[in-house]
Amino acid sequence: MKIANKTILVTGADGFIGSHLTELLVKEGAKVKALSLYNSFNTWGWLDHVDCLKDIEILTGDVRDQGYVREISKDVAVIFHLAALIAIPYSYKAPESYIDTNIRGTVNLCQAALNNGCERVIHTSTSEVYGTARYVPIDENHPLQPQSPYSASKISADAMAMSFYNALGLPLTIARPFNTYGPRQSARAIIPTIITQMAKKKKEIQVGDLSPTRDLNYVEDTCRGFLALAQCDAALGETVNIGSNHEIRMADLFSLIADIMGSDSKPLTDQARIRPQGSEVFRLCCDNRKLISLTGFAPPHTLRQGLEKTVAWFLNPDNLKRYKADIYNV
């Protein structure tokens, strides 16, 4: 199916990836309804800063509200479901919140899409569901290992979403992105953490464990992966990784960012950023062959290219001032 001229709902559109996806969909000619989490401050998250604000319909609400989700998904052709609680450290403190938003929110969305006859649902998963790799690269058949309440909630949400395809015929695809980075990413993530502290000329950069590896993907590439899956009929009923097929150790990532920024800062382990024993995912590396086979899309950015764009965005004073480099966001 083609996206152009389709009415599309993006949940979690006010977030990091969601705001970029919203911009991409507008560029592709879609009519976008962008769901932002309701708040009394009249803020729409990162949607406040997108160039396409006048071209989208902003909705404010919560995916936990079944009736509201049913109402906003009427006359919608495609739903990109990104709304979720994603902070791993906070999931240790408030696991029930993750059940409500990630699992029940997904059920609400799938039920609404089914009842309203939506043509396509792209449900967002995460590479965290794989846990520490048992083999690499990680394909979609890799065992699922819940190493945090967050990953457990996403495993459950994925299973609920796929049950709507298997049992009820909801036209659905699970997109499983590996670690995404880029402009607007939350300060709790490692790349913004390093960049913002280096930008403040700190000589010691507070970090967590630098031994794990990650498969890092520039946000535009992740969003184009979503788009490719939405337009691919062969992806219906499938779970598909979105990643680069490359991994980097976090210590080497630190050095690469320092090189790009011309910084001589050194890492300093902050114990508050260390995950509980048994929870850290020590290795992630994506097998993206299924994505390429189904859609023909492969992420074009190298890690250095994506990081250079990301650093340039963060070094813009108007962007940097939105981040609190001295505070660790759980």
> So what's the pLDDT on residue 92?
96
Tell how strand 180-181 and strand 248-249 pair up.
unpaired
Beta bridge partners of 130: none
Q: What is the pLDDT of residues 260-306, one digit of tens each?
A: 999 999 999 999 999 998 999 999 999 999 999 999 999 999 999 99
SS3 of residue 69 by DSSP: helix
7-180+217-242 maps to CATH 3.40.50.720: yes
Element containing residue 199 per DSSP (H, E): helix 190-199
> So what's the pLDDT on residue 327?
84
> So what's the pLDDT on residue 201?
95
∠ CA 223-229-234, nearest 5°, is 170
> So what's the pLDDT on residue 326?
83
SS3 of residue 242 by DSSP: strand
> So what's the pLDDT on residue 95?
98
Q: What is the pLDDT of residues 3-51, one digit of tens each?
A: 999 999 999 999 999 999 999 999 999 999 999 999 999 999 999 999 9
Closest to 129 (Cα-Cα) out of 159, 149, 152, 110: 152
What CA–CA distance (Å, rounded) separates 74 from 86? 27
Q: What is the largest CA-CA distance in the chain?
A: 57
> So what's the pLDDT on residue 259?
98
SS3 of residue 26 by DSSP: helix
pTM score of the predicted model: 0.97
The residue ranges of every structural domain in the chain are 7-180+217-242
* Separation of first and last alpha carbons in the chain: 40
Which residues in the chain show pLDDT less than 50? none
> So what's the pLDDT on residue 267?
97
